[in-house]
Amino acid sequence: MNVLINSLVGLSLVGLVAVSVSLLGPILTPFFLGAFLAYLGDPWVDRFEAWGLGRALSATLVFALIAAVLLAALMLFLPLLALELSELLQGLPASFLWLQSTLTPLVADWTGINLQVLNLKGLAQNFLGEWQQSSDIMGYLLGQLTQSGLAIFGSLMTLALTPVVAFYLMRDWDQLLARLDQLIPRSQINVVRQLTAAGDEMLAAFIRGQFLVMILLGIFYAVGLGLVGLDMALIIGLVAGLASIVPYLGFILGLLLATIAAAYQFQDWVHPVYVLTVFVLGQILEGSLLTPWLVGDRIGLHPVAVIFAVLAGGQLFGFIGVLLALPVAAVLMVLVRYCLVRYLSSGYYLGDADAVTFDQSEAGAALEALPAEAVASEHFDPDPPVPTVDESTL
């Protein structure tokens, strides 16, 4: 009965949080962005504090450093990105016309399908509309934004509140965690702490690890394509870096876009080979250095699960859902593994056999083992080891 009541209470809390996020989504953006920046900066604040600086001073230094890096990145990349985007939009109809004239004979010879009926140039012109007529893409975006008073107010509120929320959360992070720890029922404290530590490891692997991998890959692709001479190097590098959150998607999408852009710009086969070299080197860099160093094997989300999480989060909660999709999925993975451990050690699964104790890291190995092997074996040697969940505290 207690288990049923606890389950109902937990599901009610989850439902309440989901409804609150859905209803308050428009105003939650600065708070989630502030929490994201605070989570990124908390280890550095702790490090400065260990060196003898006060918590407030440490938070101020880290906050100033993060703000300086973000401001420098915006000042450096935003004008270049706006220029490339403007040139891309203006030249897109001609690019589609070239693509149609180039691919139509090849597709017709291979498949017998005539692509001339698609009229890609006309589709591009209809799709772009006013974008194509504007030479100043940033001015056009600003003009569209100012047409809606609510939109500009929301944008200004986000810009103003995000640094404030980030600073205060960064300063009081340890106190907030300590107070939350005091609210945990004492009978569940060990399990909750173990699950929280595992969830923090997953979040750190994603937010502090995968996020840096995306940034470094995007910079590598942009610089490499720029050295090749590609006009759209920054845009394609940015897209490839962001898409690398799904394994191999950034490589495939970036290589496809860059190859088409190089073939259109240079009209030869040499530069597409250079593009291929850049992306192969980027893939080697990601697989052999960046991911093992910054992320490791701690996330463990399947690529299909990553895609589903992002799409489901956006569908349910909009932009806030996209921001929270993968961090929430990473934490849910910890809970799923814990539930799997409990199930595999339950009397229902084992039947008449004595229950055995599993570590959370043994869940994957237990799934691959036959049921008879799981029953017969009472000892596993996981790598890396994770503290055993004490079921007597549940």
Cis peptide before 384 (omega within 30 of 0): yes
What's the pTM value of the predicted model, to 2 decimals?
0.66
Give the whole-angstrom CA distance, residue 208 versus residue 346: 36
**CB-neighbour burial class of residue 15 (10 A; exposed 0-12, middle 13-18, buried 19+):** exposed
Consecutive H or E run containing 69: helix 55-111
Find the Cα–Cα–Cα–Cα dihedral 368, 371, 374, 377, rounded to 10°.
-120
DSSP code of residue 298: S
More confident residue, 92 or 364: 92
Which of 57-66, 126-135, 291-300 is most confident?
57-66
* pLDDT attached to residue 62: 92
Res. 372 pLDDT band, cuts 50 70 90: very low
Band (151; pLDDT cuts 50, 70, 90)? low
For residue 140, what pLDDT is reported? 53
Q: How many CB atoms lie within 10 A of CB 148?
A: 11
At 45-54, the pLDDT tens digits run: 999 999 988 8
Query: pLDDT at position 276, please?
Result: 93
- Enter the tokens of residue 45: 């604040």
Kindly report the average pLDDT of the chain as a whole number.
Answer: 76
The pLDDT > 70 percentage for the chain reads 69
Separation between Cα atoms, residue 278 and residue 262, nearest integer Å: 12
Distance (Å) of CA 81 to CA 33, 222, 249: 22, 11, 22
Least confident window among 56-60, 324-328, 369-373 = 369-373
pLDDT tier, 391 (very low <50, low <70, confident <90, very high otherwise): very low
Side-chain-side CA neighbours of residue 29 (13 Å): 13
Q: What is the pLDDT of residue 124?
A: 56
Q: For position 127, what pLDDT does the model report?
A: 52
- Which residues fall within 8 angstroms of residue 251, CB to CB, at 6 or more apart? 240, 244, 279, 282, 283
Mean pLDDT of 85-107: 71
- 172 within 8 A of 41, measured Cβ to Cβ: no
Is pLDDT at 43 greater than 70 in this prediction?
yes
Convert the pLDDT of each residue in 249-274 to its tens digit.
889 999 998 998 888 888 888 988 99
Residue 194 has pLDDT above 70, yes or no: yes
Alpha-carbon dihedral 160, 163, 164, 167, rounded to 10 degrees: 180
